[in-house]
Chains A and B, each alone.
Chain A
């Protein structure tokens, strides 16, 4: 790898605008994610965090600006081809295939990238090591899993594509604190052991910023603050808006 390739960010979002119909959800967003980083994106409901994740995949398409992955412009690339670049997402609402078994849901993840049988087996072992629960439920239909199990399956499915960039949308949403902690631990492990690059959107700003190397704060479709996780945790406006205020609410 050349020095230039090592210094270009893995993902760069520059001045991206996107809208659902007439409602503009992203109003010129800039973020960068470097290789091996965990980056947290925090913000209130409706700030545009999930839209940003989907816009990276071209759904909806960016109306202005540019999205680069590994130095290549992917702004106009079809969604399924973006997935084949090994960007994986555990999306908002989890979107498990309800009438497929757990095994088939995981296979859908593996299908996203060309992989050998050995790689697929290794991927399955990795997922089952992180979430032993999924192995117990292997033949069960996705739609019959509990919320926590579906979350594990959504993350497991994303991991099956051996992603270079893993995007997680609210992985702790609706989960018992113990299971949420398991999931955060799993993300930390993947990052430390395999150098996995992660973009995580979280309502739980405290957890997310502790986990992340860097963070961005999004308000009304714009990035208003950026910094290391520790820095952002110290900012009074963050504490007021997303930590203490959140606790009182």
Chain B
């Protein structure tokens, strides 16, 4: 039981990170109907910017950890968002009215560009950071000496995810920008007829998706204590899987899918074998898609006439 509870905690933390990345995939898919294969690398960029800004702040002599973390969060969100905006502008927008696969191919190319850019500019080695947030709580002292641990960093990852999601939900459901985004997702022509600047709204979608990925990148850095130029690939594929599992296009579905993938992976590693954790996650995906082709919370694609 204790072991199970511990894995549940670990799975939820990992799932939060996947979920934050998955939202970026699902948002972009919903509004422009493309899979942004460079999104995983945006997450990696977010991790690097968090690391760099952290080192800069420390070298400037800042010592207050909460202040440093807040600044790092805001800086990495802002700069990563700028990456998202730029990529959409130079690699996707010119191809928007081209054939359907064109922006997707461009996205795959963009993914390589970001990976290689990081490799060249930051080096190929894994960049470790010393633990920044330490300590935690022992929730339950088990009989066989196994204790359920909840570390401060885990609390922080989950809390940050909840806060970011609450803000994001408010943005999408209550603000003018959110309404415009949903309008573009449902009918771009009608949105334009009602004065919505569709290009600008699509740009903002990429900006917000990238900012969420930056939060995930920073959490990853703090939680695992390392970043490397290749980490966007696997995390990106997992988050994409999460988005599909939850129902691509559905925002709550992306978060739910992220948590599901995180839990499946963690429990499989805990009870079966670590080597096959990815196989387990993708097998579940296949099973779900066979029985629920639109994912957990997706809606069936209705042909427009």
Binding site for B on A (CB under 8 A): 57, 59, 78-81, 83-84, 89, 91, 95, 97-100, 104, 107-109, 111-113, 157, 161
Question: Closest CB of chain A to B89's CB: distance in Å?
Answer: 17
16 pairs from A and B in contact (CB 8 Å cutoff) = A59-B192, A79-B193, A80-B195, A80-B196, A83-B192, A91-B193, A95-B189, A95-B190, A95-B193, A97-B183, A99-B182, A99-B186, A108-B183, A108-B194, A111-B179, A111-B194
Question: CA–CA, A78 to B197, complex, Å?
Answer: 9
Query: C-beta contact mask, B188-207 vs A, less than 8 Å → 1, else 0?
Result: 01111111111000000000
Chain B residue nearest to A154 (CB atoms) is B190
Q: Is the CB of A83 within 8 A of B179?
A: no
Q: Is the CB of B182 within 8 A of A95?
A: no
A107's partner among B179, B189, B197, B198 (CB-CB below 8 A) is: B179
In the complex, chain A residues whose CB is within 8 Å of the CB of B195: 80-81, 83-84, 111-113, 161
Interface SS majority for chain B? helix
Please give me the residue from chain B that is nearest to A110 by CB atom.
Answer: B194
Kindly state the interface size class of chain B when it binds its partner: 10 to 19
CB distance from A53 to the nearest CB of B (A): 10
Q: Would you call B186 and A97 a contact (CB within 8 A)?
A: yes
Q: Are A80 and B182 in contact (CB under 8 A)?
A: no
Which residues of the partner chain B approach A98 to less than 8 Å between Cβ atoms?
Answer: 186
Q: Is the CB of A83 within 8 A of B183?
A: no
Q: What are the residues of chain A within 8 A of B186 when measuring CB–CB? A: 97-100
Q: What is the bound-complex CA distance between A100 and B183, given in angstroms?
A: 8
Q: Which residue of B lies closest to A97 (CB)?
A: B186
Q: Write out the residue numbers on chain A whose beta carbons fall within 8 Å of the beta carbon of B301.
A: none
Q: Which of chain A's residues have a CB closer than 8 A to the CB of B198?
A: 80
Known: A80-B198, A84-B195, A113-B195. Is A108-B179 also a contact (CB below 8 A)?
yes
Q: Which residues of the partner chain A approach B125 to less than 8 Å between Cβ atoms? A: none
CB nearest neighbor in A for B186 = A97
Q: Are A59 and B189 in contact (CB under 8 A)?
A: yes
Of the residues A57, A80, A91, A99, contact of B197 by C-beta under 8 Å: A80
C-alpha gap A99/B298 in the complex (Å)? 13
Q: Are A111 and B176 closer than 8 Å at their CB atoms?
A: yes
B275 interface hit (Cβ, 8 Å)? no
Contacting residues, chain A, for B194 (C-beta < 8 A): 80, 83, 108-109, 111-112, 157, 161
A-side contacts of B176, CB under 8 Å: 111
Least Cβ distance of A164 to chain B in Å? 14
Distance in Å: Cβ of B252 to nearest Cβ of chain A = 13
Looking at the complex, which one of B179, B187, B196 makes contact with A95 (CB distance below 8 Å)?
A: B187
A81 to B199, CA, bound (A): 13
CA of A95 to CA of B197 in the docked complex: distance in angstroms?
17
Task: Give A112 to B190 CA distance when docked, in angstroms.
Answer: 11
- Taking CB atoms, residues of chain B closer than 8 Å to A59 are 189, 192-193
- Expressed in whole angstroms, the Cα–Cα distance for A78 and B199 within the complex equals 11
Report chain A residues within 8 Å CB of B180. 111
A112 to B193, CA, bound (A): 8
Q: In the assembly, what is the distance between CA of A95 and CA of B190, in Å?
A: 7
A209 to B151, CA, bound (A): 75
Apart from A83-B192, A95-B190, 17 more pairs, CB < 8 Å: A57-B193, A59-B192, A79-B192, A79-B193, A80-B194, A80-B195, A80-B197, A80-B198, A83-B193, A84-B195, A97-B187, A99-B182, A100-B183, A108-B179, A111-B180, A112-B194, A161-B195
Min CB distance A109 to B, Å, is 6
Chain A residues with CB under 8 Å of B191's CB are 108
B48 shortest CB reach to chain A, Å = 36
9 tightest A-B contacts by CB? A112-B195, A83-B195, A79-B192, A95-B190, A112-B194, A97-B186, A84-B195, A80-B197, A80-B195
Evaluate contact between A104 and B179: CB separation under 8 angstroms.
Answer: yes
Q: Are A100 and B192 in contact (CB under 8 A)?
A: no
A-chain residues with CB within 8 Å of residue B183 when the two chains form the complex: 97, 100, 108
Report the separation of the CA atoms of residues A104 and B185 in the bound assembly, to the nearest whole angstrom: 14
- How far, in Å, is A120 (CB) from chain B's closest CB? 12
